[in-house]
Chains A and B, each alone.
Chain A
């Protein structure tokens, strides 16, 4: 039997498959579709200090092998989450990642401070510095190595929980923001969030999304994500968690070979709610075929052409 367990910082997960933020709610709706024993962790919908209703109008457009979304961080707020959803998440037989977003540094600091007393239920905090669908904060901070460094440094002081920083691909050189996260004390980086994109209705000559732009996800972004995971892993000492377009066990192995210590899967769950369970089975079968006894032994074993 293949040993699927992975360690990120000092936290051990039973396998490297994590349900990505915003594609699994807080786990409730998926309970009837998936056995949570088959995934390593679940990352909550992005939480902000105060509740948010998100963007108005059409929030989704289909693209070749993917989709654009412009949800705009609709969420019940971190207080409501702690009172109503955190215990439920913690009761699932899987790891608990809490994804935090905000408009300003203070929002992030206060939200993380609010979570700190509940640390026993949380395995890691994931700072979403990469949501493309809100006007201020988030991706604006996350695209600048300096702003990201400052924010992560301040949040770092508020918590002893493992801190993951989720990076935006909407930058020229992702290794700069990745390094800034590491310098600021992050325990891991997650690469990548969605790519900024647009879809147009030629009849009305208007963007399909009422937010005009949205975040592109799904298999179409996989090559971009793989390249960025490799770019991050090659400069960092902390672990990289790979994300973007994963839909098969083979994809998982490719991300791990590129340098990911674990992976997150988002859009695939929207297509098949039990996708992650199937993908875990595929990873096991493929690892057995390739005579891999422990999945973590393949991390970063990519042999680049010279």
Chain B
């Protein structure tokens, strides 16, 4: 059950010049959150800002988000001192539906790697095999690349200054298909990237989940400002679903891009 909490910033780590990893104390969210869910957090702006949950520590009672500075709200969050209080709602949204007997192929772009981080920890905890592909514009833009130089993780940069040169699709083509046969693809990142990953997955016969980002207001499904188009048999041939409540995770086959 999601609620509104006042939480305290416990830790703020600079991941790269424009991205901070923030941890907050809130045992309720730490206990209840599922991979793919998000929180809506106050800043110095009028509306709360949505961020995918990147990590939970049930023992410490903390949850973490990765924040890339875009404009005023994210700058405020990223530069807030430890101890600052925020209003948070969460966990919100549906999260990924995970079948425990299927391997996962995680495809992240930019800040999309943060919510996938949570999914990856979940996979590790539940002994679900996974393969992960993360794409960034350049090394200065990259997050979590240090501990990931192992065999089932590929990092790609457009600039080619770290990992494979190219985008996540180039990287996906490098994986021997036998390694990912039967996997469920989960992708989070820029919409155009997810669209291409989805059509790649569909062409390989893999089930694909995408996590959509829309501008939000309430975050709980009452205002209908965050909708995305999905396929429907009913008039007029599509249905506008709420990204915050019916999503943010959707089956790619359902989405009208």
Contacts and interface: CB of A to CB of B under 8 A. Distances in A.
A54 B227 contact: yes
B233 interface: no
B145 to A, nearest CB: 30
Nearest to A30: B222
B239 interface: yes
B217 interface: yes
Given A54-B240, A74-B240, A271-B46, A22 B223 contact: yes
B257 to A, nearest CB: 13
B223 A69 contact: yes
Given A67-B217, A273-B4, A273-B89, A62 B229 contact: no
Nearest to A56: B229
Main secondary structure of the interface of A (DSSP, over half): loop
A62 B48 CA distance: 10
B215 interface: yes
B218 A269 contact: yes
Contacts of A145: none
A212 interface: no
Contacts of A83: none
A60 B220 contact: no
Contact of A218 (B45, B46, B87): B46
Interface string B171-210: 0000000000000000000000000000000000000000
A109 interface: no
B221 to A, nearest CB: 4
A29 B46 contact: no
Chain B interface size band reads 20 to 34
Contacts, number: 83
Contacts of A62: 45-47
Contacts of B48: 271
Contacts of A32: 1-3
B99 interface: no
B162 interface: no
B155 interface: no
Chain A interface size band reads 20 to 34
Chain B CB count within 10 A is highest, among A30, A74, A271, for A271
A71 B235 CA distance: 18
B229 A25 contact: no
Given A53-B239, A62-B45, A69-B217, A74 B3 contact: no
Nearest to A29: B221
Interface in B212-257: 214-218, 220-227, 229, 234-236, 238-240, 245
A67 B217 CA distance: 9
Contacts of A63: 46
A24 B217 contact: no
B46 A66 contact: yes
Nearest to A267: B217
Contacts of A61: 215
B236 A270 contact: no
Contacts of A23: 218, 222-223
Contacts of A88: none
Given A32-B3, A53-B238, A270-B223, A60 B215 contact: yes
Interface string B58-89: 00000000000000000000000000000101
Contacts of A59: 215, 224-227
A71 B221 CA distance: 13
Nearest to A28: B221
A56 B227 CA distance: 8
A62 B44 CA distance: 12
A74 B236 CA distance: 13
Contacts of B222: 23-25, 29-30, 269-270, 273
Interface string B38-49: 000000011110
A170 interface: no
Given A56-B229, A60-B217, 14 more contacts: A23-B222, A24-B222, A25-B222, A29-B222, A29-B245, A51-B234, A54-B224, A58-B215, A60-B225, A64-B46, A66-B46, A71-B223, A270-B218, A273-B220
Closest 6 CB pairs of A and B: A60-B225, A270-B218, A59-B225, A25-B222, A29-B221, A270-B217
Interface of A: 22-25, 29-30, 32-33, 45, 51, 53-54, 56, 58-67, 69, 71, 74, 218, 269-274
Interface of B: 1-4, 45-48, 87, 89, 214-218, 220-227, 229, 234-236, 238-240, 245
